Amino acid sequence: MLRGDQRLVHFDGTRWTTVPTVGPVDDSFPEVPLEAVPGRLFKGGDALYTYADGAWQTFALPEQVHIRDIDALAADDAYATGMRYPVDGGHPVTYHWDGTTWTLLEEVPVRAGTDTAKIAAESTDSVYVAGWADDDARPPIPSVAHWNGAQWRDVTGDLSALYVHAIAPDGRGGLWVTGSDQTEPASSGPVFWHYDGTAWTKQDGATAPDGDTRWPSYTFYDLAPADDAGSFWAVGHYSTPLDPRGDQDVHGLIERSTPSPAS
C-alpha cells in the first residue's frame, strides 16, 4: 500500500468486499476513529463522515476541530467527541447524530487543558466522555463527564493520575476506565477504575510473571464486554525489566476481569 493510500473492506458474513472511502488516513496523531453498526459506518478526523447504502455523507467541522472517538447505539443514534485544537486555548467538542445530521452538544465541563479522546454511549440518556490534561511537572489529570440526555455533569471524583486510553459502560449505568497509571512514586502495574454512578474504586489488574513495575510499564488501550455478568476484556501491553545492556521487551497483554459486584 502506498503511503497516503487507504483501504476499507466490509465482511457481510460470507465474503469481503472493498468499500470506497473518504477522509484522512490513520497514519498520524490524532487517530482516525471508525465505528460501525448495522446499516451505517461512522468515521472521524477532520470532519464527520457516515457511510450507508453505498454512499458517503460528509459533515464539515469548524477549523482546527478534530474528532478523536465515536460510539454508536444505532444507525440513527451516535455520538462523537474530540477537540478544537490547540489543547491550550481550545475546548472539547461533542456531537450527536440523529440519522440525518450531526448536532453540536453543549460544551463538556472538564478541566481547562483537557484533551477529550474517549466517548462511550450506553443509552440516549447515558453517555460518558473522558480525557486528560497533561503537565510535565505532575501526573496527568483525568476528567470524566456524563450526559444524561439533557445536560453534562462532571463525575471525575477521585479518579486521578491516569492517561485515559479506554472507557466502557458496565451495563448498570456505571463506567470502567483504564489506560496507563502514573501514580507517584512511579511504580505502576495494571490498573482499572470503576464508577458505580456515585463513587470511584481503583482496582489492580493481573501482573505478568516477567513484567516490570519499577515505573509505569502496563498500558491498556481497549475494553470490551466479556459476558452479561459485568466481566470485560482488556487489551494492551507490558514491558519487562531492563537487561544488563539497557534493553527491554514489550509484550501484548490480554486480561479478563471477574464479574462486577451486583448493583
Average pLDDT of the chain, as a whole number: 89
Residues 6+ apart with CB under 8 A from 243: none
Tens digit of each residue's pLDDT (9 = 90 or more) over 113-126:
899 999 999 999 99
| Cell output for 191 | 490498573
CB 91 within 8 A of CB 143: no
C-alpha cell recorded at residue 228: 452479561
Q: b/e string for 75-97 if b means 16 or more Cβ within 10 A?
A: beebbbbbbbeebeebbbbbbbb
The whole-angstrom separation of Cα 176 and Cα 202 is: 10
Specify the pLDDT at position 254.
Answer: 96
CA distance 209 to 66: 40
The pTM assigned to this predicted structure is: 0.91
- CA-to-CA distance for 81 and 94, rounded, in angstroms? 4
Tens-place pLDDT, residues 127-169: 999 999 987 657 899 999 999 999 999 999 999 999 999 999 9
Strand partners, 176: 168, 194
Question: Residue 185: its pLDDT value, please?
Answer: 63
List pLDDT tens digits, range 72-98.
999 999 999 999 999 888 899 999 999
Strand partners of residue 177 = 167, 193
Residue 28: how many CB atoms within 10 A of its CB? 8
User: What sign does the dihedral 216-220-226-228 (CA atoms) show?
Assistant: positive
pLDDT of residue 105: 97
The pLDDT, as a whole number, for residue 238 is: 94
What are the pLDDT digits (tens) for 35-56?
999 999 999 999 999 999 999 9
Name the pLDDT band for 263 (thresholds 50, 70, 90): very low
Distance of CA 176 to CAs 130, 167, 172, 226, Å?
11, 6, 11, 13
How far apart, in whole angstroms, are the C-alpha atoms of residue 50 and residue 180?
32
Residue 131 near residue 145 (C-beta atoms within 8 A)? no
The pLDDT assigned to 187 comes to 59
